[in-house]
Amino acid sequence: MHDEQNGHHRALTELRERLAGGLARARLTQTQLAARAGLARTTVSEALSPTKPVPSSKTVAALADALRLPVQELLILQRTAAEESGAIPMGGPGRPVGEWEPHDLEVHPAGPGETAVASGTPAARVLPGYVAREHDRMLADAVRDTTAGRSRIVVLVGTSSTGKTRACWEAVQPLAGQGWQLWHPFDPTRAQAALEDLHRVGPRTVVWLNEAQHYFGDRTVGEQIAAAVHQLLISPERAPVLVLGTLWPEYAHQYTALPAPGAQDPHNRAREVLSGRTLTVPHTFDPRPWPRPPPLPRTATDCWTTLSPGPAPTGG
């Protein structure tokens, strides 16, 4: 149903009513709210005005946090209003996080099972128990940041079978109940699928780039994919998105190393995307477990922890 005064859908009307109500309860002027939220005074005025376009998700998240309103509920209203107004495309790639099986995302199973010894019928493969480590805490920080409305990319770097993909799987589970979807580009090839549909990715989407060398390392379109990922991350109307990838150390070094003076630079865009956004997964297991991250907050009180390459793993 439309608001007869301005022609916008009810989601936008409700969004503005809740922001205005929070402003009244906080007893702030729009100028004071702008200062508290770190926004321009005009941005706040337009977000509350019934004659202006849908405010960006970044603006809504900042206002909700400043007014101590439930960030996720307001972001859902913003997403609905933006879709209805045509500000963002509907029907982007992906499906709900909860509909994915971990093995479809290349998470290693514990092994095949059987439903009954007598029947010999193959059962669904099961995952081994999981112990959170330091990099899981860093991933949880990234997830919290996306729930506050900011787009992020994290690429886990480690050798084979160190648990990189499993860590990504565990990290996205809190998003399953929050309306997020996950997109794993792989058909007809990983590179082709990513290049064709990255421009269609909408807010609250996890982009799953497991074995990211198949994307950034493609000799024909790898740099175009890196540029499309960069554009996705800096587009406020498409935020928040979470790009998760995995790489072996040799590929990470290849894509991030500076070329020699005068030499060609085949991975310029990939280096820009990956710089400061990789996280090392050690290839030895520390028996001291890290505590599982706490539940996601309802308000954006957590600051983004910059992810940077950790020390090179040691051990045999």
CATH fold of 95-280 reads Rossmann fold (3.40.50)
Q: Could you tell me which of 176, 177, 235, 196 has the C-alpha nearest to residue 92?
A: 196
Same fold, 10-85 and 95-280: no
Q: Under CATH, which architecture does the 10-85 domain have? A: Orthogonal Bundle (1.10)
In the three-class reduction of DSSP (H, G, I as helix; E, B as strand; rest coil), residue 156 is classed as strand
Q: Please say whether the beta carbons of 156 and 135 come within 8 A.
A: yes
pLDDT per residue as tens digits for the range 230-281? 999 999 888 999 999 999 999 999 999 999 999 999 999 999 999 999 999 9
pLDDT per residue as tens digits for the range 43-62? 999 999 999 988 887 788 89
For the chain, domain boundaries: 10-85, 95-280
Reported for 310-316, long-range contacts at CB under 8 A and 24+ positions apart, including other chains, are: 310/135, 310/279, 310/280, 311/280, 312/249, 312/280, 313/158, 313/159, 313/280, 313/281, 313/282, 313/283, 313/284, 314/282, 314/284, 315/282, 315/283, 315/284, 316/284
Q: What is the pLDDT of residue 86?
A: 62
| Sheet order of strands, 241-247 included | 95-96, 181-183, 205-209, 241-247, 152-157, 278-280
Mean pLDDT of 299-310: 37
